[in-house]
A and B are shown apart, each in its own frame.
Chain A
Amino acid sequence: MATYQLTVNGSRKTVDVDPTTPLLWVLREELKLTGTKYGCGISACGACTVHVAGVATRSCVVPVSLIGERPIVTIEGISNDPVGRAVQNSWVEKDVVQCGYCQSGQIMSAVALLKATPNPSETNIEESMGGNLCRCATYVRIREAIKSASQQVK
């Protein structure tokens, strides 16, 4: 066990965990931030996507010991960001979700995309969202919601 200081959604948190514990499980089990989901554990589905220092990151494969001082933003904190809020609102407006389990990760990937590329092409969307699996296959509406959010953040 080791003690780590993390900055999550702007708050300072202290956790005492095995250094190999992936960030995902620290968020879910230690900090009770269950909006970030476990889907595969091998960074193949994107359900666990969070922002680490602004970069969309698969939290299921990043040991907590590697986080250091980098601030973490999860789905629970993304509405504090104007792009985050716009994406969440577009998602609701376009009625994207079905089961909803993957959508935290989808939204976190979409926010990262729009921050880097405010006016994304279909190719940009497919590249940035290409690792986020949705078994309900809500992809058509994800495309629409990203384009709609893009109009709002420009």
Chain B
Amino acid sequence: MRPALKVGNDLSLNRRSFLRVTSAAAGGLLISLYLDRSIAAQQPSPPKVFPPDAFVHIRPDGKIVITVNRLEFGQGVQTSLPMILADEMDADWSQVIGELAPAADVYKDPLFGIQMVGGSGSIAHSFQQYRELGAKTRAMLVAAAADRWQVTPDQCRTENSVVYGPGNRSARYAELADDAARKPVPQEVKLKSPSDFRIIGKKVSRLDSRSKCDGSQKFGLDLDVPGMKVAVVAHPPVFGAGVRTLDDREARRLEGVRDVFQIPLAKGSGVAVVADRFWTAKQARDRLKIDWDLSAVERPDTVQLLARYKQLSTTTGTIAINRGDAKAMDSIAPANRIVAEYEFPYLAHTPMEPLNTTIRYDGDKAEAWVPSQFQTMDQMAIADVLGLKPEQVTFHTEFGGGGFGRRAVTDSHVQREAAIIAKRFRGTPIKLIWTREDDVRGGYYRPMHLHRVEVGIDRDGIPAAWRHVIVGQSLLAGTPFAMLIKDGIDETTVEGAKDMSYNIANLNISVHNPTVNVPVLWWRSVGHTHNAFVVETLIDELATRARIDPIVYRRKLLKSEAKKLQSVLDLLDAKSAWRQSLPKGRAVGIACHESFDTAVACAVDVSIENKRPRVHRATVAVNCGLAVNPLSVESQFQGGLGFGITQLMAKGAITLKDGRVEQRNFDGYTPPYISDTPMTVDVHIVPSTDPPTGCGEPPVPVISPAVVNALFRLTGKRYRTLPLITI
């Protein structure tokens, strides 16, 4: 998802915050980060309830607990952020524990100003922050050792959680922690030069592997708070509809049902069922007889919507970019133009762990357990429903089973439902579970889009004019982020097209953002999901027409400032020599794209098996600046390519008929399984010491255009309608 609230570009810790050290109650050194007054003044009052504020805790047993200011939901930050801090601190990595931070001001994204995961910013935005925290912690430990030995700090060195001084003296960090806790926090501290990194840049295995392989890792859905009841909600069959009449007699007859009642939803209303167990609650919900009032709600229909979008695409929308001469197209003969229309369906995120939230309301305070990408907003929403201040809601960040944007919802609708139910059950923890059906049919999809592009080609086969109309719902309109819409343009609709790195003299892109009664949301890589597909398939088409190798053509067309993309195309060219000698029935497809400041180039080796694309191999080249954990980068790219295949699946679409979602579960909306995804993925990283950029979203945009570009070489057909039902 996209950058939300930018509060400044200065990622340095010094000017925005200060550190405080305390001795932990149980011993050891606790280093906390506090926001300075200028930032704190923007908050009603600083939270002082549960949050320990800590980033580092050196325990007497030598364990070093590093707090992770992000949700861990697969992207690997519970390992990578501690790596950064531990490296500057010269900590013994084998003793490091990563813990997820609760909701608190100090854990807000330094750039976005809210606590969140999105915009592939976890490492990019907290790299400097975690380095400084580590370096300052180290400096205090060194100062404590120097005092003890009556030497100067520069006579000391550190390694693996030990300070070494002159004359074979040494002291473990844990021994020094209490003394270090009395030292002032240094204002300025020298960071390591990259050549001195011992952990950063190394392939480091995840800290959460074992617990995720033996069943012991608890996710939000696994919580078992004493006295807890389980809730499910019957949602209206059409978005925004409400309950007209409810007959819950059959439901209430089930043993273990505690209550059935109507609740307001973000739009419309529903019926909550609370029971001792999930299975009881679900059975009770199945027995509800609800007469829904559909009279006042629009009933979207994707077939009709497509017709409307096609009509809209023939007219110029709000201008996103108009470079060069808008009339340049008129001087190009029709024979030298490509007119292409692209269709993209609604897509659900369907993270493996269904949506859930657990809340206990105690009157003057509450406690919440949420796998949340948006802690700040979810905490505020819960507080709002319960009539509390955010700081009265102790908000635990639980491990999430995937998310891909679905746990970053601006209206916090799941948390609001849970809070409404919990309010009625004062003192009893309520775990709200959205079933898979609720999730698939519940909205908040990647919007459906229609693109209409006309490209005029000059004598050298170069696109001289590019006229492009994008039709699709805005993600930001009607949300707290609506103020980011500038001059009528929601960047999340046009990103990856408007800012494409190809040098096109006359570029005109405009947008229609119709209002449709379907809730929409950022879906891993957001606007790049469709824009990169359009751009990269058209570029491939142009290269083919010009009879130029697709990598050579892209290099030729890239702007000179697109250095990162140049670097990945060069690396891809070198690492995909296999494309010169493919067996019969196999073809190569190329795509490249930059998103979230990370450049990616991809080559795939594809055949057709059982009328479906079979991806035998994918080679990717990545420029993400300094790769903090190359193993994690590799995993994100291997997995991200697989995730991107979602939009090529035959059943990779959410459709609506008469206002109702036609899919219910993974049988109707089918994400990629093992044989749908590349059999091998080799990932090559451009060596760099530039600041790190994100790797969560950038893998996604390249794979689907690369695959259909390969399919063209096998079938001679261009694929512009997704999902890919037939090939």
Which positions in A face B, CB cutoff 8 Å? 1, 17-18, 20-22, 25, 28-29, 32-42, 44-45, 47, 74-76, 79, 88, 91-92, 95-104, 107, 122, 125-126, 129-143
CA distance A107 to B210 in the complex (A): 12
Q: Which residues of A contact B723 (CB under 8 A)?
A: none
- What are 27 A-B pairs at a CB distance below 8 A? A17-B279, A18-B255, A18-B283, A22-B279, A34-B215, A35-B215, A37-B219, A41-B437, A45-B352, A47-B352, A74-B215, A91-B213, A95-B209, A97-B208, A98-B75, A98-B639, A99-B402, A100-B74, A131-B673, A132-B673, A133-B666, A135-B402, A136-B402, A137-B639, A137-B645, A138-B639, A139-B642
Count chain B CB atoms within 10 A of each CB in A22, A41, A125 and give the residue with the most. A41
Q: A25-B278, A130-B673, A134-B352 are in contact. Are A75 and B214 (CB under 8 A)?
A: yes
Asked whether B61 is an interface residue with its Cβ less than 8 Å from the other chain, the reply is: no
Q: Which residues of A contact B673 (CB under 8 A)?
A: 130-133, 139
Residue pair B215, A99 in contact (C-beta under 8 Å) = no
Asked whether B354 is an interface residue with its Cβ less than 8 Å from the other chain, the reply is: yes
Q: Which residues of B contact A96 (CB under 8 A)?
A: 209, 213
Contacts A17-B277, A88-B214, A101-B219 known; 17 new A-B pairs at CB < 8 A? A20-B283, A21-B279, A36-B215, A76-B216, A92-B205, A95-B635, A98-B75, A100-B212, A103-B212, A122-B679, A129-B674, A136-B352, A136-B639, A137-B639, A138-B638, A139-B677, A140-B678
Interface string of B474-516 (1 = CB under 8 A from A): 0000000000000000000000000000000000000000000
Q: Which residues of A contact B677 (CB under 8 A)?
A: 137, 139-140
Q: Of the candidates A28, A97, A137, which one forms a contact with B212 in the assembled complex, judged by CB atoms under 8 Å apart?
A: A97
Residue pair B679, A29 in contact (C-beta under 8 Å) = no
Q: Which residues of B contact A17 (CB under 8 A)?
A: 277, 279
Residue pair B214, A35 in contact (C-beta under 8 Å) = yes
Q: Which residues of B contact A75 (CB under 8 A)?
A: 214-215
CA distance A120 to B334 in the complex (A): 56
CA distance A136 to B213 in the complex (A): 15
Closest chain B CB from A105 CB (angstroms): 9
Q: Which residues of B contact A37 (CB under 8 A)?
A: 219, 221, 352-353, 401
Residue pair B277, A33 in contact (C-beta under 8 Å) = no
Q: Which of B273-289 contact A (CB under 8 A)?
A: 277-280, 283
CA distance A123 to B73 in the complex (A): 30
Q: Which residues of B contact A125 (CB under 8 A)?
A: 674
Count chain A CB atoms within 10 A of each CB in B213, B437, B631 and give the residue with the most. B213
Q: Which residues of A contact B211 (CB under 8 A)?
A: 100
CA distance A122 to B616 in the complex (A): 12
Residue pair A25, B277 in contact (C-beta under 8 Å) = yes
Q: A42-B665, A75-B214, A98-B74 are in contact. Are A137 and B641 (CB under 8 A)?
A: yes
Instruction: Name the residue on A nearest B666 (C-beta).
Output: A44
Q: Of the candidates B206, B221, B279, B636, which one forms a contact with A97 in the assembled complex, judged by CB atoms under 8 Å apart?
A: B206
Asked whether B690 is an interface residue with its Cβ less than 8 Å from the other chain, the reply is: no
Instruction: Name the residue on A nearest B401 (C-beta).
Output: A101
Main secondary structure of the interface of A (DSSP, over half): loop
Q: A92-B209, A101-B402 are in contact. Are A135 and B350 (CB under 8 A)?
A: yes
Residue pair B635, A98 in contact (C-beta under 8 Å) = yes
CA distance A91 to B635 in the complex (A): 13
CA distance A36 to B219 in the complex (A): 11
Q: Which of B62-119 contact A (CB under 8 A)?
A: 73-76
Main secondary structure of the interface of B (DSSP, over half): loop
Q: Of the candidates A38, A44, A91, A99, which one forms a contact with B74 in the assembled complex, judged by CB atoms under 8 Å apart?
A: A99
Closest chain B CB from A150 CB (angstroms): 16
CA distance A35 to B214 in the complex (A): 7
Q: A34-B224, A38-B354 are in contact. Are A95 and B214 (CB under 8 A)?
A: no
Interface string of B255-299 (1 = CB under 8 A from A): 100000000000000000000011110010000000000000000
> Can you list the 6 inter-chain pairs with the closest CB atoms, starting with the nearest?
A35-B215, A137-B642, A101-B401, A100-B212, A99-B74, A98-B74
CA distance A1 to B254 in the complex (A): 10
Count chain B CB atoms within 10 A of each CB in A39, A47, A76, A140 and give the residue with the most. A140
Asked whether B667 is an interface residue with its Cβ less than 8 Å from the other chain, the reply is: yes
Asked whether B322 is an interface residue with its Cβ less than 8 Å from the other chain, the reply is: no
Q: A132-B673, A135-B350 are in contact. Are A92 and B210 (CB under 8 A)?
A: yes
Residue pair A29, B278 in contact (C-beta under 8 Å) = yes
Asked whether B606 is an interface residue with its Cβ less than 8 Å from the other chain, the reply is: no
CA distance A129 to B679 in the complex (A): 13
Q: Which residues of A contact B671 (CB under 8 A)?
A: 133, 135
CA distance A34 to B403 in the complex (A): 20
Instruction: Name the residue on A nearest B699 (C-beta).
Output: A137
Residue pair B209, A136 in contact (C-beta under 8 Å) = no
Asked whether B217 is an interface residue with its Cβ less than 8 Å from the other chain, the reply is: yes
Residue pair B679, A143 in contact (C-beta under 8 Å) = yes
Asked whether B311 is an interface residue with its Cβ less than 8 Å from the other chain, the reply is: no
Asked whether B436 is an interface residue with its Cβ less than 8 Å from the other chain, the reply is: yes
Q: Which residues of A contact B436 (CB under 8 A)?
A: 39-42
Asked whether B315 is an interface residue with its Cβ less than 8 Å from the other chain, the reply is: no
Q: Which residues of B contact A41 (CB under 8 A)?
A: 435-437, 665
Asked whether B247 is an interface residue with its Cβ less than 8 Å from the other chain, the reply is: no
Q: Which residues of B contact A135 (CB under 8 A)?
A: 350-352, 402, 404, 643, 671
Asked whether B201 is an interface residue with its Cβ less than 8 Å from the other chain, the reply is: no
Residue pair B400, A99 in contact (C-beta under 8 Å) = yes
CA distance A121 to B399 in the complex (A): 34
Q: Which of B384-405 contact A (CB under 8 A)?
A: 399-404
Q: A100-B217, A132-B673, A137-B639 are in contact. Are A95 and B205 (CB under 8 A)?
A: yes
Closest chain B CB from A49 CB (angstroms): 12
Q: Of the candidates A33, A79, A101, which one forms a contact with B352 in the assembled complex, judged by CB atoms under 8 Å apart?
A: A101
CA distance A65 to B675 in the complex (A): 34
Q: Which residues of B contact A34 (CB under 8 A)?
A: 215, 218, 221-222, 224
Interface string of B191-230 (1 = CB under 8 A from A): 0000000000000011011111111111101101000000
Q: A29-B277, A135-B350 are in contact. Are A103 and B681 (CB under 8 A)?
A: no
Closest chain A CB from B441 CB (angstroms): 13
CA distance A97 to B678 in the complex (A): 17
CA distance A76 to B611 in the complex (A): 40
Asked whether B672 is an interface residue with its Cβ less than 8 Å from the other chain, the reply is: yes
Q: Which residues of B contact A103 (CB under 8 A)?
A: 212-213
CA distance A43 to B464 in the complex (A): 52
Q: Which residues of A contact B213 (CB under 8 A)?
A: 88, 91-92, 96-97, 100, 103, 107
Asked whether B544 is an interface residue with its Cβ less than 8 Å from the other chain, the reply is: no
Q: Which residues of A contact B352 (CB under 8 A)?
A: 37, 39, 45, 47, 99, 101-102, 133-136
Q: Which residues of A contact B245 (CB under 8 A)?
A: none
Asked whether B560 is an interface residue with its Cβ less than 8 Å from the other chain, the reply is: no
Q: Which residues of A contact B435 (CB under 8 A)?
A: 41
Q: Which residues of B contact A42 (CB under 8 A)?
A: 436, 665-667
Closest chain B CB from A28 CB (angstroms): 8
Q: Of the candidates A36, A45, A122, A130, which one forms a contact with B666 in the assembled complex, judged by CB atoms under 8 Å apart?
A: A45
Interface string of B624-647 (1 = CB under 8 A from A): 000000010001101111110100
Closest chain B CB from A44 CB (angstroms): 4
Interface string of B335-363 (1 = CB under 8 A from A): 00000000000000011111000000000
Residue pair B672, A137 in contact (C-beta under 8 Å) = yes
Asked whether B314 is an interface residue with its Cβ less than 8 Å from the other chain, the reply is: no
Q: Which residues of A contact B152 (CB under 8 A)?
A: none
Asked whether B304 is an interface residue with its Cβ less than 8 Å from the other chain, the reply is: no
CA distance A100 to B212 in the complex (A): 5
Asked whether B689 is an interface residue with its Cβ less than 8 Å from the other chain, the reply is: no
Instruction: Name the residue on B nearest A99 (C-beta).
Output: B74
Q: Which residues of B contact A139 (CB under 8 A)?
A: 642, 673-674, 677
Count chain A CB atoms within 10 A of each CB in B352, B642, B671 and give the residue with the most. B352
CA distance A1 to B672 in the complex (A): 39
Closest chain A CB from B280 CB (angstroms): 7
CA distance A25 to B643 in the complex (A): 29
